[in-house]
Amino acid sequence: MYVPDRDEDLRWMRRAIGLAALCPPAAGAYSVGAVIVAEDGTELAAGYSREADPREHAEEAALGKLPVGDPRLATATIYSSLEPCSRRSADRTPCAQRILEAGIPRVVIAWREPPLFVADCVGVELLVAAGVTVVELPELADAAQMPNRHLGDGHIG
């Protein structure tokens, strides 16, 4: 499997962070961007929180633009400006589970979910336990947090 170098990871994460800035601010949700990149370095899909539905998460929006079972996902990387969620309301599948079901083997994040809405997000842990490679880019955490300043500085970062 082709693995992007750090410069490519940073470039794609900046794209995801740019998408997060497009999110309509919501008092009860993070503004997150996600980009799915094929093994050959081309963008397969992108999305952001609340793009088409007020309850939609970024990874959900991006994955929803691709056919279920798309074979390119087996070698793809998903870039999410925030750790994929591990828990949602009963009628919504958590994003970490969606990534596992899609078969994406590599996830890159900018920051871990703080305990503002969920006290114990374990998205990274679930992905790693399932054999997914997870890369964190802490140097872009501040940039990823910027679209979330409406939630209050005391809860971010």
**Catalytic residue ranges:** 59
DSSP secondary structure string, 61-95? HHHTTS-TT-GGGGG-EEEESSPPPS---TTS--H
Residues near 18 by beta carbon (within 8 Å), at least 6 away in sequence: 33
Closest CA to 117 of 56, 31, 28, 33: 28
CA distance 124 to 96: 8
Closest CA to 79 of 31, 136, 153, 28: 136
Query: Within 13 Å and on the Cβ side, how many CA atoms surround 27?
Result: 0
